[in-house]
Amino acid sequence: MERHGIDVPIEEIEHVDEHATTVGASAEATWDAIPAALSEVFGRTSGPIARALGCEHVRAEGDPSRIGSTLPGFVVARSIRPALVALQGEHRFSRYALIFHVDDRGDGTSRLRAETRADFPGTRGRLYRAAVIGTRGHVLAVRRMLGAIRRRAERSA
């Protein structure tokens, strides 16, 4: 399996949390909304932040639904239409994954889940975890992404 600069399998990264929302659109429409919404969310300000953190991937390249494409701080590690898009990355304080699961509810709606996995090695990693996870900044960012995907999917449905 091609690694795209990531040296740890997603399953070996510690589970941090999972957030979910119900989408008033099919699983296909929800999955289709993920790449465009992620491109929007990871706009111009994400590149400089990724660069400052020492990420390998500092700009968007390719289609965010295709394996090997990048967003600032992430590479698309897995993509299974219409069920999953997994982003993975690392920088000097952490290695992490953000996995979007799309569950078909069978009634024309879907459930969108964002699973976060991350390891924070060493003292600097623990401090970074406190700054990002401990302040709930991470929760707000993930909920923002879920909302952007949900709105885009429902507009297209």
Per-domain boundaries in the chain:
12-156
Q: Is the pLDDT of residue 1 over 70?
A: no
- Main-chain phi, psi angles of 105, to 5 degrees: -90, -5
**Total-model pTM:** 0.92
> Beta 110-119 vs 94-104: how paired, if at all?
antiparallel
Instruction: Count H helices and E strands in the chain, helices first.
Output: 4, 6
What pLDDT digit, counting tens, does each position of 16-68 carry?
A: 999 999 999 999 999 999 999 998 888 877 999 999 999 999 999 999 999 99
CATH architecture, domain defined by 12-156? 2-Layer Sandwich (3.30)
What's the confidence (pLDDT) of residue 51? 95
**Mean of pLDDT values over 68-93:** 96
**Residue written as tokens 């590690």?**
77
Helix axes 27-41, 137-156, angle to 10 degrees: 130
CA distance to 3, 32, 74, 128, per residue, from 58 (Å): 17, 24, 8, 19
